[in-house]
A and B are shown apart, each in its own frame.
Chain A
């Protein structure tokens, strides 16, 4: 049984759907960050698979940059979460109403 590009794209779809459901469902901001990590990883799988099946390394390059962006996003986001938690004592999305969103 041969594993083709479609297998990897289907897997990427499933993981992306799981991550997106998590983003919609979660109220706690820390767990919402976890769901965004799932989104980024599922796209990385698609990039690596296309890079392999088309013999082109551009996909892997973009996966590297996505990993770098994810790392800096976590650093800044976690710093902001810590400041918010120091001020308000929780990190629920429902309590963040200062902008009347």
Chain B
């Protein structure tokens, strides 16, 4: 009973927040609604018993990714209204619904054909975090390490892209000055 109430409440809240995110014309509203939607999504993970995933969702998405977006928005002119594409509304809605249904069919096809076997079944009397640790560091150790290297590469790329030439403004310089700067030293 409580599960149903929680599911419908958070489903409504998440859909409302993400709807605001894609329809609003203010970038700041979109950012705030997206952060709220991320928090509400973590509630589903807690309902589903995936405690560790819910905590990671809050820490990584709402803590790190949203802070990064907020930091990035300081660079951009976000006070003006965002211009929108003027496309055919029916084509947009139809195409996105069709693709979403296709994704669900891809997910549901193995279930319908009864082809799903639990590869790493849940062990009784062990918490979710324990199980995640056991499986992550035995069966998924190499993807875990590759993900670590990927995050390192992304960090280096972010520093190189955003941090170079912080002392000069590329928007205020003319093309000749940028050319001169490029010849002097390799520019990003």
Contact = CB atoms under 8 A, between A and B. Distances in A.
Interface residues of B, number: 88
Contacts of A7: 7
A64 B96 CA distance: 25
Contact of A52 (B49, B77, B107): B49
Contacts of A43: 103
Given A48-B44, A78-B158, A79-B157, A21 B22 contact: yes
B interface secondary structure, majority: helix
A interface secondary structure, majority: helix
Contacts of B97: 17
Contacts of A79: 157-162
A36 to B, nearest CB: 11
Interface string B10-40: 0100110011011000010011001001100
A7 B118 CA distance: 21
B3 A3 contact: yes
A7 to B, nearest CB: 6
Interface of A: 1-3, 5, 7-22, 24-28, 30-31, 33-35, 37-38, 41, 43-46, 48-52, 54-58, 60-61, 63-65, 67-76, 78-83, 85-92
